[in-house]
């Protein structure tokens, strides 16, 4: 369930199995949390990362002396307003976390990419020492599954994201772009909210589905592949899997 204490214990247990939170963040570091906010909606609709999951990892980081920032970029609206709609700004205020700048960004080259050689990345991502990825488990009509890899699309500010849908209409090209984005921003840890997931026409219009799982991994390809197996979807048919493994980002096997 999304009971705060239950989620906190589950997150701490998962972190311990991965070697402890010190594997991913050190005291004094500036770490940015990247939930899946989309355009912001009531958490009960299962569009966004639930505030209880956000609260659990935010609180754990604060306890270790990490400077915690958070944000996400949507095509419509400002970061802060959408975070408030999703119930995340209220939790951030409660914990004393700082908003990161996801409304503006700057260009970064990516020479080692498979397809896209430069991106405009949100300042809140570029100004941090590390990123922790908090995706929502959902199916998706274009790339079949939206989880850890797809969630990094929100590191591109605002309307710039829509340009990639126009330039890369082929789902495999679009997926390769997402992989390139992940090899550039390099999230240190992924914690996927699958307590209540979304099936059908995600990322906004699907139906809530009770899954009762939290997934944690430092490998974004593996965590997506594991989530796919849980929902009986072959990860090999998800177009981010093969380029993700080719790029060295992780494994779907």
CA distances from 169 to 10, 59, 60, 142 (A): 39, 40, 40, 9
Q: For residues 83 and 91, what is the distance between their CA atoms, to the nearest angstrom?
A: 10
Residues with Cβ within 8 Å of residue 181, at least 6 apart in sequence? 116, 119, 152, 153, 155, 156
pLDDT of residue 165: 83
Q: Which is nearest to 31 in space by CA: 143, 131, 146?
A: 131
DSSP three-state, residue 101: coil
pLDDT at position 202: 59
Pairing of strands 189-199, 136-140: parallel
What is the rounded distance in angstroms from the CA atom of residue 102 to the CA atom of residue 106? 11
Q: List Cα–Cα distances, 99 to 53, 92, 131, 151, 230, in angstroms.
A: 17, 8, 14, 18, 33
User: Which pLDDT score is estimated for 140?
Assistant: 73
Q: What is the dihedral of CA 7, 250, 239, 163, to 10 degrees?
A: 80
Beta bridge partners of 98: 69
pLDDT of residue 158: 84
Q: Which residues pair with 118 in a beta bridge?
A: 109
Dihedral-angle region of residue 239 (phi above 0 means left; psi in -120 to 50 means alpha; beta otherwise): alpha
Residues of the chain with pLDDT under 50: none
Give yes or no for a contact between 73 and 158, defined as CB atoms under 8 angstroms apart: yes
- Enter the tokens of residue 217: 């991994």
Tokens of 85: 């709609």
The pLDDT assigned to 192 comes to 97
Helix (H) or strand (E) holding 57: helix 51-63
Residue 80, token pair as written in the block: 């802060």
Eight-class DSSP state of 116: -
Q: What angle do CA 156, 8, 81 make, to 5 degrees?
A: 35
pLDDT tens by residue, 21-58: 999 999 999 999 999 998 878 899 989 999 999 999 99
Across the chain, what does the average pLDDT equal? Answer: 93
What's the whole-model pTM score? 0.94
Q: Report cis status (omega within 30 of 0) of the bond before 129.
A: no
């Amino acid at each position: 369930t999304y009971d705060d204490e239950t989620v906190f214990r589950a997150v701490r247990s998962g972190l311990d199995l991965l070697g402890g939170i010190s594997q991913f963040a050190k005291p004094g570091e500036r770490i940015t949390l990247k939930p899946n906010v989309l355009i912001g909606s009531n958490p009960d609709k299962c569009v966004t990362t639930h505030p209880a999951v956000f609260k659990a990892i935010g609180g754990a980081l604060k306890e270790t002396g990490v400077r915690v920032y958070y944000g996400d970029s949507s095509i419509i609206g400002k970061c802060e307003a959408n975070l408030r709609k999703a119930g995340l700004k209220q939790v951030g205020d409660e914990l004393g976390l700082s908003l990161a700048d996801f409304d503006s960004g700057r260009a970064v080259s990516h020479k080692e990419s498979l397809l896209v050689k430069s991106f405009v990345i949100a300042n809140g991502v570029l100004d941090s020492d590390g990123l922790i990825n908090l995706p929502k488990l959902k199916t998706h009509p274009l790339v079949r599954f939206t989880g850890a890899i797809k969630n990094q699309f929100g590191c591109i500010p605002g309307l710039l994201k829509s340009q990639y849908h126009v330039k890369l209409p082929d789902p495999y090209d679009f997926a390769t772009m997402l992989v390139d984005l992940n090899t550039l921003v390099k999230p240190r840890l992924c914690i996927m909210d699958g307590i209540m997931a979304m099936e059908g026409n995600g990322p906004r219009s699907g139906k809530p589905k009770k899954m009762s799982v939290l997934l944690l991994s430092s490998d974004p390809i593996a965590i997506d592949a594991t989530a796919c197996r849980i929902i009986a979807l072959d990860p090999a048919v998800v177009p981010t899997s093969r380029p993700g493994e080719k790029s060295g980002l992780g494994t779907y096997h």
